[in-house]
Amino acid sequence: MTQRILLITSSLFGEGGQSRALAESFKAALAGHDVELTERDVVEQALPHLTGAEMTSWMTDPAERSAEQTELARHSDALLAEIEANDVLVLAVPLYNLGIPSQLKAWFDRILRAGKTFQYTANGPVGLLEGKSGLILAARGGMYAGSDMDSQTPHLKHMLGLIGIKEVHTIYAEGLNMGDERKQQSLKEARQAIAQYVESRF
């Protein structure tokens, strides 16, 4: 059965970014596998910051939306349809100032929607996108994984968990700004981990 994969890239440096290099390694590893890949570059196809007017448009019944609200809701509705249509979500993410790129946050702001991808219950929020898995490809200049300084990984996993994606794997390429030898070794190890992930999943 064909697996459908949504690959989200978010490097400010486009094809020159290290997280983008991890994404390319992932794509190369998919060769020969029965998959259908959809790509979205949230920097190249940047979304505006979320506003109250846009959020209000989501809360308005589609039949009662004004022309302006219909246009505002279009961004989120399209992104929701895209993620709902795929089985695996892959995020290629650089670490900027201990967080995620603001463009990726703007993307998350459109898919974390109460009543659409999660719902509130007496026992807390429950994700509505069941049966999907996630993969984080994380590129970092320094060494952060497993330390108190790595606020990015828990943040991403919490957001994915909110919408029901509980099975999330993470592959790191760290120390990329700590000398060429360290960089090349880290990228090599990440490529190997990516190949192993793809072979085991697809």
* Tens of pLDDT, residues 63-110: 999 999 999 999 999 999 999 999 999 999 999 999 999 999 999 999
Q: What is the CATH number of the domain that holds 87?
A: 3.40.50.360
- 31 token code pair: 């060769």
Residue 9 CA to residue 103 CA, distance in Å, equals 10
Residue 178 CA to residue 161 CA, distance in Å, equals 32
**So what's the pLDDT on residue 101?**
97
Cβ atoms 139, 173 nearer than 8 A: yes
pLDDT averaged per 10 residues in sequence order, the chain, 202 residues: 96 94 97 96 94 96 95 95 97 96 97 96 94 98 94 97 97 96 97 97 94
Residue 194 CA to residue 171 CA, distance in Å, equals 7
- Would the annotation count 11 as a binding residue? yes
The amino acid that residue 160 corresponds to is: L
**So what's the pLDDT on residue 148?**
93
Question: Structural domain of residue 10, as residue ranges?
Answer: 3-201
Number of domain units in the chain: 1
**So what's the pLDDT on residue 139?**
97
Distance set, CA 157 to CA 35, 129, 152, 160, 162 (Å): 24, 14, 9, 5, 8
**So what's the pLDDT on residue 1?**
86
Three-state secondary structure of the chain: CCEEEEEEECCCCHHHCHHHHHHHHHHHHCCCCCEEEEEEECCCCCCCCCCHHHHHHHHCCHHHCCHHHHHHHHHHHHHHHHHHCCCEEEEEEECECCECCHHHHHHHHHHCCECCCEEEECCEEEECCCCCEEEEEEECCCCCCCCCCCCHHHHHHHHHHHCCCCEEEEEEECCCCCCHHHHHHHHHHHHHHHHHHHHHHC
